[in-house]
Amino acid sequence: MEQYLINSLDIAGTLAFAISGALAAARKDFDLFGISFTAFITALGGGTVRDLCIGYTPVSWMRDMNYLYIIILAVVVTFLFSKYLLNLHRTLFLFDAIGIGVFTIIGMKKALALDIHIVMAIMMGITSAVMGGVFRDTFLNEVPLILREEIYATACLLGALIYIGLEYLGVNPVLCLTVTIIFIITIRILSMRYHISLPKITLHHDL
């Protein structure tokens, strides 16, 4: 039941990230290959960095053809429905929030399964959720949005801590996952709506 839920959410998250990458590439006037490449990097780049850092090779997406099918599906969906998807940014935002939540927990669990220290496992969870978007923006020649705006990675961190806390208390795994993801989505929506950001350093000097 827990594994089934994780797999379903993993598919939803991968699809959402891939569509977000494909749309971003389409806006940059990329061709079909560029769109597929960007969808791939956005959806699987974070997990690839995580796998490389913990030494889990061949990396996850090379062991399971389904990831490739999801990318292809995302590109097809983007080609067919790009007009509508742009009006669906609320839906995409929700998918994206699900994606970062699931990727954080899955990434953390994969690291823990390889006996990685729990603090490092949390960092691997955040890496899984965050690096795909960083690569997408970097290859598109933009400053990664996540580094400037809103409580994105912080939601991942808090979600990971809550998950560990609940698991430690012996709460049912499915409930852990559900609560954590709803928590991350809620933080994301609230920070978006009320423009809550992390503090910045104000530099008055001319640099």
Residues from 40 through 69 that contact a second copy (CB under 8 A): 48, 52-55, 57-59, 62, 65, 68
Instruction: Give residue 206's Cα distance to chain centre.
Output: 36
Measured between alpha carbons, how far is 92 from 112 in angstroms, rounded to an integer?
Answer: 30
Cβ contact 173:167 at 8 Å: yes
Total residues binding a second copy (CB under 8 A): 62
Cβ contact 155:64 at 8 Å: no
Name the DSSP letter for residue 55: T
207 binds a second copy (CB under 8 A): yes
Instruction: Give residue 122's Cα distance to chain centre.
Output: 14
Question: CA triplet 149, 152, 158: central angle to 5 degrees?
Answer: 140
169 binds a second copy (CB under 8 A): no
The overall longest dimension of the chain from CA atoms, in Å, is 57
Which is closer to a second copy, CB of 153 or CB of 181?
A: 153
Span near a second copy by CB under 8 A; candidates 11-19, 91-99, 151-159, 178-186: 151-159
201 binds a second copy (CB under 8 A): yes
Binding site for a second copy (CB under 8 A): 25-35, 37-38, 48, 52-55, 57-59, 62, 65, 68, 78-79, 82-83, 86, 114, 116-117, 119-120, 123, 130, 134, 138-144, 146-154, 197-201, 203-205, 207
